[in-house]
Amino acid sequence: MEDAELIWFASEFREGILDGGSSQMMCWAVSAPLAALLEMHGVETELVEADLGDCNHFYLRLPDGRVLDPTADQFNHLRVDPMPAVYLGPPADCHGIAPALPRHPMNAEGE
């Protein structure tokens, strides 16, 4: 998937989840299902949880190390340079430095 299509896809998905609402405190609710949907479309991502001190933040990391953050704008009240609603690029200050969350294999019953 090309970058422009990836941003469009994530933006449309975000809008479907948020339905015009704020992205504040919605990073997991958007990022986790987006990761699963992208995987279904052949786009490899890792769900990452960053510890930002006062809070944690979830976003997606691509195999090339770039970040796909569908709720990056929730931190704009803290920033001089605002982030777009969906950010694709190198890790920024709101992405901290964190390992990917471990993937837990499902058993035969899907649990």
Asked if residue 56 is part of any domain, the answer here is yes
pLDDT of residue 103: 45
Question: Per-residue confidence at 97, pLDDT binned at 50, 70, 90?
Answer: low
102: in domain? no
pLDDT, tens digit (0-9, with 9 covering 90-100), for 55-70: 888 999 999 999 999 9
The domain tally of the chain equals 1
Amino acid at 74: Q
pLDDT over 70, % of the chain: 86
Q: Which of 34, 27, 40 is nearest to 9 (CA)?
A: 34
- Residue 79 pLDDT class (50, 70, 90 cuts): confident
CA angle 29, 35, 41 (to 5 degrees): 135
Contact between 49 and 41 (Cβ < 8 Å): no
Q: At 107, is the pLDDT very low, low, confident or very high (cuts 50, 70, 90)?
A: very low
Helix (H) or strand (E) holding 87: strand 87-89
69: domain range? 3-89
Residue 21 lies in a domain: yes
Domain membership flag for residue 11: yes
Q: Where does residue 39 rank: exposed (0-12), middle (13-18), buried (19+ CB within 10 A)?
A: exposed
